[in-house]
Structure 1
């Protein structure tokens, strides 16, 4: 499997000169790369943002890998005509002292998003009844283990070769929302030598449609608690961000997040230094809400 994954690196390298679009503005440069074939995954697509000044300097930059890349920069390419405005958030964070970083946005693969983002080990640990609900939503094999191996291996190797990066753990972050928050946690804990920071925004702890659950699900609460207990480890310079709102889908997250917060504190992580967990009253589960707090997230993670 590892050999097959690294075969995808050659495909990415071949695409370096075949980017489908390149837009340069006062807010940096956007590069689009379509049709990245990865064994075991749906076809992938990338949008890469280079900070202002990248082309005029020899400086090296850290990297933030972000899921749902189509919803990061351009409303015309987004699902709901609204975006995180990740480039503007990075510039705002930089003005307040955050380290400037390249952003690599990995598009969600349409209807395959759920099965690409649902942590495979949670799926494997779920009861038959819960797994049946997950199977219904997935519509195919859960492939998040392949996805995060590709992110941490072939994709990161290509990015580090194609751009002037600082490849070390302390200069590499992963960020996502909803199911993207789950897979960000998954990657952060599975590849501790790769990612120094993770932003898990409006993390979809119910894993399935919360309206199909009778309140907060005790099985899922226990699964997430044991997941962090067994996988998170000590901070050792890493930083972790959680948040959620209180409206729409976010209204279901508090009971799960509170258990996760308690577990992280029990593992010795110092809140405000190693990790943060915030509640935004009235905030909904949507891109405008995430855009509003992304500068704060970047400031904490990239300081």
Structure 2
């Protein structure tokens, strides 16, 4: 079968988008199965539309990684979900956030490679890369993953849903490795994303060691790429048990650099959750905090010359 035919079948799958494939307590969930890409393998994408989604209104968009863990516990990897729909519905009802569209991007077997920031990784000492390669099956693939998100998925979402496509209304979020790729996305595409939420950011990169090497590489990358003008919003948090127990010294280093670059309130918020573990239940309990930080009504809007998916050179 030719690649052209494969793409046609994939597009047919998109045309047959099914609503409500997973259980949600509020709003409507639409499934985009096997979303095609020339950069990464196809994957499922779920689009959550808030209660009262109407043709006469446009909505900000929150892109989220590990999409299968966001809505329905029955579909989640470990039987736990963030239940983003119920959290956002409650916040919307209380007037604490603007109604938004959530785009959940499912991960694949290449998750670790796709979520590893490629440029800081390339700057690691050779010995560190050699140790990390024992835990992965290949080099970082994050640049291609972000091309998929920015050049293929976002244009589709903006064309088929009533979005507010500009930078000030486009956000990205994830946990653990998803926190790393969310930060990397914002820095690689500063004209596309106006804010990122990085929950339990996995700064050590390794699952076996808690070394400072990757954090040091990220700090150098941050120093070079952080926007000095039209600052985005950055949210970070971490718990104190299980894998999260490793993160505090890394996060303190990152916070210190951000502060030196003028990233204090309202541009940055870092929270420590004593006793919180590294799992979807913990992230569900505190998701309201980053959601409010990014989507609060009357948040500062900076002048924008357009939403061009152009990568930082």
Q: Same fold (TM over 0.5)?
A: yes
Question: 1:17, 1:64 → 2: CA distance?
Answer: 23
1:135-188, Cα deviation, whole Å (9 max, x unpaired): 222212321001111111111000000101000001000000000000000001
Is contact 2:239-2:278 (8 Å) kept? yes
Which structure is higher in helix share? 1
Unaligned runs of 5+ residues in structure 2 are 1-5, 297-313
Please point out which of 233, 240, 262 is paired with 1:239. Answer: 233
Q: Give yes or no for the alignment of 1:295 onto 2:294.
A: no
Answering whether residue 206 of structure 2 is matched by residue 212 of structure 1, we say: no
Structure 2 contact 61–169 (Cα < 8 Å) conserved: yes
Partner Cα separation in structure 2 for residue 207 and residue 86 of structure 1:
26
Match of 1:196 in 2: 194
Separation in 1, partners of 2:86, 2:67: 15
Distance 2:50 2:229 in 1: 29
TM-score for the superposition, normalised by structure 1: 0.90
Task: Give the whole-Å Cα distance in 2 for the aligned partners of 1:195 and 1:13.
Answer: 26
Aligned pairs (5 A) from 1:232-271: 232-234=226-228, 236-270=230-264
- Residues 59, 227 of structure 1: CA spacing in aligned structure 2 closer, same or farther, 3 A cutoff? same
The residue number in structure 2 matching 1:53 is: 52
Q: Select 2:73's aligned residue among 72, 75, 88.
A: 75
Count of paired positions: 290
Give the corresponding residue for 1:108. 107
TM-score (norm 2): 0.87
Q: Specify whether residues 277 and 75 from structure 1 end up closer, same or farther in structure 2 by C-alpha distance, changes over 3 A only.
A: same
CA contact (8 A) 1:26 1:52 kept: no
The runs of 5 or more residues in structure 1 that have no matched partner are: 1-7
1:12 shift after superposition: 7.3
- State the match for 1:42 in structure 2: 41
1:285 aligned to which of 270, 278, 283? 278
